[in-house]
Amino acid sequence: MPSYRAPIEDVTFLLQDVVGFDRHGNLPGFGDLGPETLEAILREGAKLVEEVAQPLNRIGDEAGCTRAPDGSVSTPPGFRDAYRAYAAGGWIGLSAPEDYGGQGLPYTLTAVMNEFMSGANVAFGMYPGLTMGAVAALMQHGSQQQKDLYLPPMIEGRWTGTMNLTEPHCGTDLGMIRTKAVPRGDGSYAISGTKIFISAGEHDLSENIVHLVLARIEGAPAGTKGISLFVVPKFIPDADGRPGPRNGVACGSLEHKMGIHGNATCVMNYDGAVGWLVGEENRGLAAMFVMMNEARLAVGIQGLGLSEVAYQNAAAYARDRIQGRALTGPKAKDKPADPIIVHPDVRRTLLTIRAINEAGRALVLWTALQSDVAHRSPDPAVRQAADDALGLMTPVVKGVLTDLGFDNTVRAQQMLGGHGYIAEWGMEQFVRDARIAMIYEGANGIQALDLVGRKLPKDGGRAITAYLTETAAFLKDAAGDERLRPLATPVLAALGQLQQATVWFMQNALAKPDNAGAGATDYMHLMGLVALGTMWVRIAQAAHGRIAAGRDTAVMEAKLVTARFFVERWLPEAGARLACITAGSDAVMALPEAMF
């Protein structure tokens, strides 16, 4: 049975020494968070995920969710109690405004808890996760009345939330949505249509479910400009927020999925369900996209969390399992064989995972902090710069950390040989659970297009220009420190390759957009290598600081080794990515459709 330990020490090190969390004490919600308070919160959260959520991970996979003939859905055994404990701890509203019952703490802490929960039980974590997404959308676009009605019970956990976008014939291309909204004359609408792949669409954890639904108001313009957002509660609340009559929305079936069995993925049938417009008519997509940054970060974090738990269990197995002898002669002479961790290929594999996890965690925290600054700083220029960085890095965190996170679960599984393939050891569940993160909240190819097609050219390239400039300045500075030079110099070279790729797009993709499309995924991964490499230089800088101060020396020495490993074994990929990008789209576009 796999285990999970929340990486609290690494998080506090990264927050304090690497991403400069404590430099933001002036922001609302940050003020009271001294190191002790911060650590106390993290320990409380860690305890919850380790002791409550993680033990349900296996049963969640095995039992899954079940739908009764009446359309009601039961979650796996134990999920109800765990959900109650999660809600009672105030974790759903950790970063939600205090006005609505939240704790008003930084989103960065929510990001940390998301990682912990994803490592412990990603399918369970999706229930409160989707609620947080719906809360964010209502906060931003709901009327005052909607906020007053829906937010307190959602933040409290009595009600949960969902996002209803996908239909059988459309996922990426939401302009084709067919779900209809017909005015009922009293300001509400009758919503009819079928939504698929609705996570947490129906379940037994909460007394009400608040569906946010994209639909087309009768007579609205065709395409994306005719889509509106509606709130459709499962039980229609009265003005005091008491759930009343059952609305015309029901779970038609559950999908049989590769993984995340503990989460109910529903086909939702809307049959004249009563809904209320959220925000403006025909501006539903814009409303949804605002909440996408955090939702996409949350999915990237799932990749990280699963990569971390897979690593922990693979490393434990590699220390424990004896098999064969070291190439350099027996190490455990008292045993019939050495632990497999003596083998270079096993260590290489573990370090490959770890080099992504530790820098990935730093990148997540750095990006989450940008979100906090973008939303909370009093200085508009600071807010804008942070929002630029957030927008630029969100598709990278989502696309790269889920691609690599999935690959890492596969690598970790491989360390157990045949034992990795059977359910008993739990490693294959991590692989199956991690797979979805590359798909939902915008498949990773869409993330790459968002980065290259939208985020790069936005505001005349302001975000990427700032990122390249600031990162180059940091790396050049770091290269001046001889302890950091062996790391900073190759990362600077990779940054140069990213710059070349950016310029190549500017020169070759304007007239021929297929050149951007054909290189988008490689560009996203090249940017990921640069971003992770930069984090390794920052981590190494901080590690030298702690070593000089005699703090956590062994752990910090391990950071330096892993940083070196990243530069030696991951960074060479940057050149290959650049070569793929500059190959352009000719070969890609040459074949007629019928020849595929």
Tell me whether residue 458 or residue 512 sits nearer to its own copies (CB atom).
512
Compare residues 143 and 582 and give the one whose CB is closer to its own copies: 582
Residue 327 as a binder of its own copies (CB under 8 A): the answer is: yes
- Which of 383-389's residues contact partners 24+ apart within 8 Å by CB, and which partners? 385/466, 388/459, 388/462, 388/463, 388/466, 389/463, 389/466, 389/467
Tell which residue, 297, 256, 260, has the closest CA to residue 442: 297
Our finding on whether 413 is near its own copies (CB under 8 A) is yes
Which amino acid does the sequence have at 563?
A
Q: Count CB atoms within 10 A of the CB of residue 178.
A: 13
SS3 for 237-249 is: ECCCCCEEEECCE
Figure out which of the listed residues 78, 445, 457, 461 binds its own copies, where binding follows CB under 8 A.
445
Active site residue: 202, 294, 428, 441, which one? 441
Q: Does residue 349 belong to the site contacting its own copies (CB under 8 A)?
A: yes
What does the alpha-carbon distance between residue 38 and residue 561 come to, in Å, rounded to a whole number?
28
CB of 90 to its own copies, least distance (A): 32
The distance from CA 313 to its chain's CA centroid, rounded to whole angstroms, is 21
User: In the set 1, 473, 510, 588, which binds its own copies (CB under 8 A)?
Assistant: 588
Which stretch, 143-151, 289-297, 436-444, 534-542, contacts its own copies (CB under 8 A)?
A: 436-444
537: how many CB neighbours lie within 10 A of its CB? 28
Which positions from 528 to 567 touch its own copies by CB under 8 A, shown as an x/- string?
--------------------------xx--x--x--xx--
Number of residues that bind its own copies (CB under 8 A): 97
Q: Is 441 a catalytic residue?
A: yes
SS (HEC) of 551-571: CCHHHHHHHHHHHHHHHHHHC
* Least distance from its own copies to the Cβ atom of residue 241, Å: 33
Q: Which of 76, 72, 122 is nearest to 266 (CA)?
A: 72
Site string for its own copies, 217-256 (x = CB under 8 A): --------------------------------------xx
144 near its own copies, judged by CB under 8 A: no
Total number of residues shown for the chain: 596
DSSP 593: G
Binding of its own copies by 511 (CB under 8 A): no
Sole window of 46-54, 95-103, 438-446, 496-504 interacting with its own copies (rule: CB under 8 A):
438-446
Q: Give the nearer residue to its own copies in terms of CB position, either 63 or 176.
A: 176
Instruction: Report how far residue 596's alpha carbon sits from residue 593's, in angstroms, rounded to the nearest whole number.
Output: 6
Spatial contact of 220 and 280, defined as CB atoms under 8 Å apart: no
| Among positions 262, 517, 528, 533, the unique one binding its own copies when judged by CB under 8 A | 517
Distance between CA atoms of residues 209 and 205, nearest Å: 9
Determine, following the binding rule CB under 8 A, whether residue 593 of this chain makes contact with its own copies.
Answer: yes
Of 418, 460, 482, 550, the one binding its own copies by CB under 8 A = 418
Closer of 129 and 517 to its own copies (Cβ):
517
Residue numbers annotated as active site: 441
